Amino acid sequence: MSAIWAGLALGAIYGLVALGYNIVFVSSGVFNFAHAQLLMLGTFVAFFGTVTLGLPPWLVFVLAAVVVALVAVIEERTAIRFVRSTEGLLVTTLGFATLLDGATQVIWGGEPLQVPFFGPSEVVSVAGGQVFPVELVLIGAMVLLTIVFVLVSRFSMLGIAMLAVSEDREAALMRGINVRAYAVGAFAVAGAVAGALGPLVGPKTFAVATLGTALALKGFVAMAIGGFGSAPGALIGGLAVGLIEALAGRYLGQSFATLMVFVALLAVLLFKPTGLFGHARERVV
């Protein structure tokens, strides 16, 4: 059971990355490879705020959200806006991700930094398994964010407009929606969310510059399993990836953990390319 809790907590992080991909993907049709690096940057800012500056927790959240949102907007302005092709976007978002990897490494060094959790840090026993409070908070945060995302996209005009943009950009323009502002807004929101999660993710993963790429790939697997553009899909996909990784690591050996995630990715892409909750797009010649 402890392995399951650990897997779910890890899965929550993957799900959060997938959710970030989705926010941007839905509103601007871009797959932002660097989103995991934004989350990673959030953990570093959390470390900086908590340990270096000694700020109170609420201020750390605000600081991380603002800083990362700003970086995300810079990314939209530099790596996204002027690039058209899929290949081009992969190159530039990967470039931005690498830039963040390098920059955090230069600023904070290559060693993992422990980000203290603002809440209790003693292991508690839940449902027959040992689990850290921060892990429970992570799972809760993931579920909560998914619910918020679903509610916003179903019932607020902002969300309805966002989905409209993803369905038909030109038709959305013809309804007076400022499509470009939505794209920037989506990056800012996705960045702010990623930043604000830093103080929660950091205690689980440590703040380390090598975190980004692995998170990016596993977050992608979560999105592939759940379906592109689906928030509940990101939640389920993330938790599934976390569980696969934790259970494979526990029962088959640590070397199988990532390998089994890869196998799951291949299986989903080959047998259900739209994922569990994804929309199949009409094929157009």
Partner 1 sequence: MNLATAARRIPSWSLPLVLAVVVALLPVLGVGSSVLRQVVLVCILALLVSGLNLSLGYAGELALGQAAIYAGGAYVSGYLGAHGQTDLLVQLVVACGVALVLGLITGIPGLRLNKWALAMVSFFLVLLVPDILDLFEEETGGRLGLTGIEPVTLFGLPLDREAFAVAVVVVTALWIVVFRNLVTSRHGTAFLVLRESPVLASSTGISVFRMKLSAYAIGALPAGIAGTLFANLDQYLSPESFGFALAVSILAASILGGSASVYGALIGAVILQLGPLQSTEFEQYALIVYGLLLLVCGVLLSSGIAGIVGRLRKKVERRWLPREQAPPYEGELLPDLDGARLSVEGLSKSFGGLHALDGVTLDARPGEVTALIGPNGSGKTTMLNMICGYYRADAGEIRLDDTVSPRAPFQVARAGVARTFQTPSIPSGITVAEAVRAGRYATEHTSFLSAVLRLPAYRRARARDLDEAARVLTLVGLQDLAHEDATSLPLGTRRLLEVARSLISRPRVLLFDEVASGLDEDEVDRLGELIRRLRDAGATIVLVEHNFRLVLALADRIHVLARGSILATGSPAEIENHPDVLREYLGTPVASAAATPGGGRDDD
Partner 2 sequence: MLSVKDLVTGYGDMRVVREVSFDVLPGEVTALLGRNGAGKTTTLRAIAGLNKITSGSVRLDGADIGPLPPHRRIRAGLGVVQENKRVFKRHTVEANLLLGGYSTGVRRKQLRESLEEVYELFPALRGRTSTPAGQLSGGQQQMLAIGQAIMGRPKLLMLDEPSAGLAPAIVLEVMDSVEKLKRSGLGILLVEQAVEAAVGVADRVAVLEIGRVVMSGPAGAIDDLEIIKEAYFGRVPGTDAGLTTGAPD
**Under the rule (CB under 8 A), what is the footprint of partner 2?**
157, 160-161, 163-164, 167-168, 170-180, 279
User: CA–CA separation, 279 vs 284, rounded Å?
Assistant: 15
Judging by DSSP bridges, how do beta strands 129-131 and 124-126 pair with one another? antiparallel
- If contact means CB under 5 to 8 A according to the sort of partner, which of partner 2, partner 1, none does residue 167 touch? partner 2
Ramachandran quadrant class, 55 (left: phi over 0; alpha: psi -120 to 50; beta: rest): beta
| Least distance to partner 1, CB of residue 245, Å | 11
- If contact means CB under 5 to 8 A according to the sort of partner, which of partner 1, partner 2, none does residue 171 touch? partner 2
Binding string, 87-106, against partner 1, x = CB under 8 A? xx-xxx-xxxxxxxxxx-xx
Q: Are 197 and 15 in contact (CB under 8 A)?
A: no
| Least distance to partner 2, CB of residue 69, Å | 23
Cβ proximity to partner 2: between 70 and 177 the closer is 177
Site membership for partner 1, residue 82 (CB under 8 A): yes
Helix (H, G, I), strand (E, B) or coil at 228: coil
Helix (H, G, I), strand (E, B) or coil at 126: strand
Cβ proximity to partner 2: between 174 and 284 the closer is 174
- If contact means CB under 5 to 8 A according to the sort of partner, which of partner 2, partner 1, none does residue 161 touch? partner 2
Site for partner 1 in 192-251 (CB under 8 A): 213-214, 217, 220-221, 224
Site for partner 1 in 106-135 (CB under 8 A): 106, 110
User: CA–CA separation, 4 vs 92, rounded Å?
Assistant: 37
Site membership for partner 1, residue 256 (CB under 8 A): yes
Q: Which of 145, 120, 144 is nearest to 131 (CA)?
A: 120
Binding-site member from 114, 144, 178, 262 for partner 1 (CB under 8 A) = 262
Site membership for partner 1, residue 181 (CB under 8 A): no
Cβ proximity to partner 1: between 2 and 258 the closer is 258
Q: At what angle do helices 211-226 and 2-28 cross, to 10 degrees?
A: 80
Q: Are 192 and 33 in contact (CB under 8 A)?
A: no
Binding-site member from 52, 259, 272, 279 for partner 1 (CB under 8 A) = 259
| Alpha helical stretches, state H, 76-132 | 86-108
| Least distance to partner 1, CB of residue 90, Å | 5
Site membership for partner 1, residue 166 (CB under 8 A): no
Residue with tokens 């830093």: 198
CA distances from 34 to 10, 30, 91, 153 (A): 19, 11, 11, 23
Site membership for partner 1, residue 73 (CB under 8 A): no
The β-bridge partners of 176 are none
Burial group, residue 228, by CB count within 10 angstroms (0-12, 13-18, 19+):
buried
Site membership for partner 1, residue 160 (CB under 8 A): no
Residues in contact with partner 1 by the rule CB under 8 A: 31, 78-79, 82-83, 86-88, 90-92, 94-103, 105-106, 110, 213-214, 217, 220-221, 224, 254-259, 262, 265-266, 269-270, 273, 282, 285
